[in-house]
């Protein structure tokens, strides 16, 4: 079985690594050449092996009279087989400033960093608004009623994923946005509001149990 991607006189063929498969592909290309009159110049073709040794790649390329090569490579100017998530890899392909532009052209994609921050910070909002969700109960059982979001002392004990969600608050703080203070809890009937475990003071990023720890300890011992 083969998959192919073609554009004018450039084509990529993907298939299971075997001499039989490659030989059959050459036969197909030769039949195409006989039918169309377009002769295939095998010396201009390249063979790329994925998860195979360089010797295997060179051996198959020699049988097919092609040139052995390796990843990454460029196809129609696009990087293939490189670290595709790296901005550096796309530097020769994408003008990021022009791509992000919205008023004066571009695709209007926006800042990926800002988008990522917004998605991470939404988990803070969900933690507040979905208290009965199973994942919220798990987080509270692991890191306390505040989920470790509002207490810098618990940062080292958080899981890698939840730590990244916690750190987005620090990132916004560095940008001059006090994110933890912008999240407010509606008291309502008080069933989901805690005197000691919720933020009551706008100027503080600590719950009362941390700000007045001795009083909290006395209260906890009484109960």
Identify the three-state secondary structure at position 181: helix
Domain boundary residue among 26, 59, 94?
A: 94
**pTM of the shown model:** 0.42
Average pLDDT over residues 47-72: 88
Residue 100 falls inside a structural domain: no
Domain boundary residue among 94, 127, 153?
A: 94
CB atoms < 10 A from the CB of 67, how many? 14
In this prediction, residue 25 carries a pLDDT of 85
Residue 107 falls inside a structural domain: no
Residue 153 and residue 88 share a domain: no
Q: What residues contact residue 50 under an 8 Å CB cut-off, 6+ apart? A: 17, 71, 81
Residue 124 and residue 73 share a domain: no
Q: Write out pLDDT tens, residues 166-211.
A: 888 778 777 777 666 666 666 666 666 677 766 666 666 667 777 7
CB atoms < 10 A from the CB of 207, how many? 22
In this prediction, residue 92 carries a pLDDT of 72
Q: Phi and psi at residue 196, in whole multiples of 5°?
A: -90, -30
Q: What is the mean pLDDT of the chain?
A: 77
pLDDT at 78 over 70: yes
Q: Phi and psi at residue 107, in whole multiples of 5°?
A: -90, -10
Q: Phi and psi at residue 158, in whole multiples of 5°?
A: -80, 155
């Amino acid at each position: 079985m083969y998959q192919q991607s073609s554009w004018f006189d450039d084509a990529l063929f993907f298939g299971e690594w075997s001499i039989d498969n490659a030989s059959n592909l050459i036969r197909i290309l030769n039949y195409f050449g006989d039918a169309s009159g377009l002769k295939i110049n095998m010396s201009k073709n390249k063979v790329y092996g994925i998860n195979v040794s360089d010797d295997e790649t060179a051996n198959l390329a020699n049988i097919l009279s092609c040139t052995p090569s390796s990843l990454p490579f460029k196809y129609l100017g696009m990087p293939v087989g490189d670290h595709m998530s790296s901005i550096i890899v796309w530097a020769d392909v994408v003008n990021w400033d022009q791509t992000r532009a919205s008023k004066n052209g571009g695709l209007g994609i926006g800042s990926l960093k800002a988008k990522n921050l917004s998605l991470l910070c939404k988990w803070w909002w969900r933690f507040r608004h979905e208290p009965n969700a199973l994942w919220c109960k798990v987080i509270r059982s692991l890191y306390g009623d505040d989920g470790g979001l509002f207490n810098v002392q618990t940062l080292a004990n958080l899981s890698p994923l939840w730590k990244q969600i916690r750190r987005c608050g620090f990132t916004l703080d560095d940008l001059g946005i006090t994110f933890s203070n912008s999240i407010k809890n509606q008291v309502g009937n008080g069933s989901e509001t805690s005197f000691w475990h919720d933020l009551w003071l706008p100027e503080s990023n600590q719950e009362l149990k941390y700000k007045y720890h001795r009083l909290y300890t006395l209260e906890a011992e009484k109960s």
